[in-house]
């Protein structure tokens, strides 16, 4: 599964545009007064100005980077003044069951942003790390009231399988290339422990079916296009 396009709301529109365009170095594909489209490799991130001033939102978004570039990505982030999240063991997080390593940081809206290197991918890169090595958006977090019910609807309507998780508190739907991270809204996010927040999002995926699915009182609009 591939995440082709992700639209999120932002309460700091100008700061968010500047962060993704200038600090992360991702090109602007399209710009309007209340929305901007950022090109992130094979995916687009659309920042939509919040309808109401101060409207709260919080997202978890992951970008895939080459399998061998996590160390280089850390240095690149430091050079750009991006402060990585750290716990008592450091700022790099290993996922044994996923065969992956990741680092985390926050954008101006305090969204939890992740760079993840999947070691099952044959995508090693010898060149210096740049924004061009943000290969695509590979995860979007979807906090819900009932994980089991959401999983069933995603499986039935979109044809996506559960790649990882227990299906009750956590379910990663799709595959390593693209995942809908369905979590119980009372389950803290890893690794920073913050409570998830239901925040409206529109997700366009390339998957197994051509269907539309609305979840969590229509907060999540998922459009699937058959590959």
What pLDDT score was predicted for residue 208? 86
What pLDDT score was predicted for residue 52? 76
The tally of domains found in the chain comes to: 1
In a domain, 38, yes or no: no
Tell me which residue range forms the domain holding 214.
51-226
Each residue of 76-91: b (16+ CB within 10 Å) or e? Answer: bbeeeebebeeeeeeb
pLDDT tens by residue, 151-189: 999 999 999 999 999 999 999 999 999 999 999 999 999
* pTM tops 0.95: yes
Mean pLDDT of 2-24: 97
Cα distance between residue 215 and residue 227, in whole Å:
22
pLDDT tens by residue, 100-131: 999 999 999 999 999 999 999 999 999 999 99
Contact 48, 10 (CB under 8 A): yes
Comparing CA positions, the residue from 216, 219, 123, 220 lying closest to residue 176 is 123
In a domain, 19, yes or no: no
pLDDT tens by residue, 49-63: 997 776 789 999 999
What pLDDT score was predicted for residue 196? 97
In a domain, 21, yes or no: no
Categorize the per-residue pLDDT at 220 as very low, low, confident or very high, splitting at 50, 70 and 90: very high
In a domain, 13, yes or no: no
Q: What is the DSSP string of 38-66?
A: EEETTEEEEEEE-SSTT-----EEEEE--
What pLDDT score was predicted for residue 56? 87
What pLDDT score was predicted for residue 144? 98
In a domain, 5, yes or no: no
In a domain, 10, yes or no: no
Q: Find the CATH number of the domain harbouring 183.
A: 3.10.180.10
In a domain, 149, yes or no: yes
Q: Which residues contact 86 (CB under 8 A, 6 or more apart)?
A: none
In a domain, 112, yes or no: yes
Average pLDDT of the chain?
97
């Amino acid at each position: 599964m591939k995440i082709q396009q992700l639209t999120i709301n932002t309460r700091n529109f100008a700061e968010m545009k500047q962060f993704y365009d200038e600090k992360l170095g991702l090109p602007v594909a399209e710009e309007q007064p209340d929305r901007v489209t950022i090109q992130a490799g094979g995916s687009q991130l659309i920042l939509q100005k919040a309808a109401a001033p101060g409207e709260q939102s919080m997202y978890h978004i992951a970008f895939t980077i080459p399998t061998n570039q996590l160390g280089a990505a850390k240095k690149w982030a430091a050079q750009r003044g991006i402060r990585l999240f750290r716990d008592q063991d450091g700022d790099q997080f290993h996922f044994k069951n996923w065969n992956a390593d990741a680092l985390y940081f926050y954008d101006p809206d305090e969204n939890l942003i992740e760079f993840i290197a999947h070691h099952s991918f044959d995508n090693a890169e010898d060149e210096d790390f740049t924004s061009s090595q943000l290969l695509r958006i590979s995860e979007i977090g979807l906090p819900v009231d009932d994980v089991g019910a959401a999983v069933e609807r995603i499986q039935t309507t979109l044809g996506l399988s559960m790649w990882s998780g227990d299906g009750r508190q956590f379910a990663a739907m799709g595959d390593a290339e693209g995942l809908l991270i369905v979590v119980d809204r009372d389950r803290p996010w890893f690794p920073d422990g913050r409570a998830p927040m239901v925040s409206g999002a529109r997700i366009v995926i390339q998957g197994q079916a051509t269907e539309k699915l609305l979840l969590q009182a229509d907060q999540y609009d998922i459009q699937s296009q058959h590959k």
